[in-house]
């Protein structure tokens, strides 16, 4: 398809709120917007590989139904008519659920769950399933294609993991809203690399039935949006709470950790974060040096709690029986679970509770901690695709996000774009303070501005690598 035939991204400069106004006024139809997204997916997904399944016919049918409901005076609420990409960990009626695996896990996951049903009740249009790695465990697999970072059409760069399909779809203008999960950074990391807003709720905020778990205690649902304002709008629509609004910058006190989080930063990341914090301070935000407790104590809970939970969920005997069907990188991680005793497992969870209490006390008096989301910009895939560099890359790039999952915190990655590749500014806050976190992030967006989206026209120039079902 020629570049000039690519439909424009309907939300490149349009907010979710503005779309709602346009839809209800008749200036735009859900059918036309959905068609534009499906045409963009058809043109761009062969190279981007964001979607593993596109539900074109059901999406168009739903879109026409939305237009008919509005014409008849029925309004389902703020997200009515919004086209959404769903991470392929969620069961969705009428769509396959693979969880990034060659194992048949549909029966394990079960029927469509509460969160997906809430999207449907809200009038969302589900475009299809976005790629994930196997069981959301890591950032890449040998058995499935890795989505392509939309900021780099000439060089295959890492998009993050494991909600990378959702992040790529959102950044490339293939969805108006994308849904992911985050157990160690799987929303925030790909948001950082792909230049979107990635919001991770507390583990308890949204129900997780109908979802393949990684570690149920810390698994969190999250959203990818173009702006923080859109994240606030979606949060309010999906919780029934008031939409978080900006506050005066001079009322904010943000903690900048002096330990751990700013170590080993690439220069592009360090420069972007320094500039952002300087601008925030200039606007009146108080940046307070502080220490985050237990930065050296959380790794065992993350590394062993997750793989032990996955093996327990699937069944140890089944994992051994179907071992050859599991991606070799996933196997290398799962094998650690078989030598982990119940006593050590329980001790991990008790230790985690103590860490969470200490962190909640340490952040008292602050509106959040601010850190880089990742320590580097998106690396070329081939540089880290083989050998020990895989594990090294994941450990390095999830170092700033995993701890907040273990602590049960909510978090958000805000995109900073200074050159060719984006950087993420992470804001973290205690459990169940999502509304305040989003208000803080919205204030940060007011000060720093909304960053641009990538030019994806370069992805039309070559024939694709993957196939969609």
Query: Catalytic residue positions?
Result: 87, 162, 186
Q: How far apart are CA 168 and CA 441, in angstroms?
A: 21
Q: How far apart are CA 25 and CA 34, in angstroms?
A: 17
Q: How far apart are CA 176 and CA 80, in angstroms?
A: 12
| CA torsion, ordered 267, 268, 269, 272, to nearest 10 deg | 120
Structure tokens at 37: 């997204």
Specify the 3-state DSSP secondary structure of 61: helix
HEC readout, 435-449: HHHHHHHHHHHHHHC
145: nearest Cα among 52, 59, 75: 52
Specify the 3-state DSSP secondary structure of 52: strand
Structure tokens at 147: 């989505």
Task: Please report, for residues 101, 330, 460, the alpha-carbon distance to residue 133 in angstroms, rounded to integers and kept in the order given.
Answer: 8, 9, 25
Q: How far apart are CA 303 and CA 300, in angstroms?
A: 5
Task: Please report, for residues 112, 376, 422, 427, the alpha-carbon distance to residue 200 in angstroms, rounded to integers and kept in the order given.
Answer: 21, 20, 19, 10
Task: Please report, for residues 35, 165, 173, the alpha-carbon distance to residue 43 in angstroms, rounded to integers and kept in the order given.
Answer: 12, 16, 12
Q: In degrees rounded to 5, what are phi and psi of residue 255? A: -85, 130
437: nearest Cα among 186, 191, 235: 235
Q: Which helix (H) or strand (E) holds 320?
A: helix 316-321
CB atoms within 10 A of CB 446: 16
Q: Before 400, cis peptide (omega within 30)?
A: no
Task: Please report, for residues 94, 167, 182, 294, 340, the alpha-carbon distance to residue 51 in angstroms, rounded to integers and kept in the order given.
Answer: 16, 11, 18, 38, 36
Give residue for tokens 């069944």.
315
Q: Is the dihedral of CA 291, 296, 299, 302 positive or negative?
A: negative
């Amino acid at each position: 398809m020629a570049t000039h035939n690519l439909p424009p991204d309907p939300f490149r400069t349009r907010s979710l709120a503005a779309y709602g106004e346009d839809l209800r006024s008749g200036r735009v139809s859900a059918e036309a917007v959905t068609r534009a997204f499906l045409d963009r997916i058809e043109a761009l997904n062969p190279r981007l590989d964001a979607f593993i399944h596109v539900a074109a016919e059901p999406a168009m049918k739903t879109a026409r139904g939305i237009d008919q409901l509005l014409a008849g005076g029925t309004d389902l609420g703020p997200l009515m008519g919004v086209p959404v990409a769903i991470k392929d960990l969620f069961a969705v009626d009428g769509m396959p659920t693979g969880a990034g695996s060659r194992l048949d896990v549909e029966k394990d996951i079960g029927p469509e769950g509460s969160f997906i049903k809430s999207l449907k009740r809200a009038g969302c249009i589900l475009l299809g399933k976005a790629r994930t790695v196997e069981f959301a465990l890591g950032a890449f697999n040998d058995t499935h294609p890795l989505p392509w970072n939309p900021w780099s059409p000439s060089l295959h760069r890492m998009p993050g993991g494991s909600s990378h399909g959702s992040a790529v779809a959102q950044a490339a203008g293939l969805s108006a809203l994308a849904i992911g999960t985050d157990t160690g950074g799987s929303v925030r990391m790909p948001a950082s690399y792909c230049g979107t807003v990635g919001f991770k709720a507390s583990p308890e905020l949204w129900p997780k039935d109908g979802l393949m778990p990684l570690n149920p205690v810390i698994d969190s649902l999250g959203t990818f949006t173009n702006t923080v304002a859109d994240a606030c709008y979606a949060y309010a629509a999906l919780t029934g709470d008031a939409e978080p609004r900006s506050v005066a910058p001079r009322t904010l006190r943000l903690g900048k950790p002096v330990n751990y989080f700013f170590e080993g930063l690439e220069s592009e990341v360090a420069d972007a974060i320094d500039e952002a914090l300087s601008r925030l301070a200039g606007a009146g935000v108080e940046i307070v040096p502080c220490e985050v407790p237990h930065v050296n104590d959380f790794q065992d809970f993350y590394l062993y709690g997750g793989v032990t939970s996955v093996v327990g969920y699937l069944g140890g005997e089944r994992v051994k029986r179907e071992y050859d069907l599991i991606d070799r990188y996933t196997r290398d991680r799962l094998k650690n679970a078989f030598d982990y005793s119940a006593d050590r497992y329980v001790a991990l969870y008790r230790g985690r509770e103590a860490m969470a209490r200490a962190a909640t006390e340490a952040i008292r008096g602050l509106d959040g901690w601010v850190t880089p989301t990742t320590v580097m910009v998106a690396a070329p895939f081939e540089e880290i695709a083989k050998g020990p560099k895989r594990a090294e890359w994941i450990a390095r790039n999830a170092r700033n996000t995993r701890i907040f999952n273990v602590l049960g915190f909510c978090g958000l990655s805000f995109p900073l774009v200074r050159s060719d590749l984006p950087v993420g500014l992470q804001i973290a806050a205690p459990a169940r303070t999502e509304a305040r976190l989003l208000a803080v992030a919205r204030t940060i967006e007011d000060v720093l501005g909304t960053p641009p989206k990538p030019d994806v026209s370069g992805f039309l120039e070559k024939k694709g690598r993957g196939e969609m079902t």
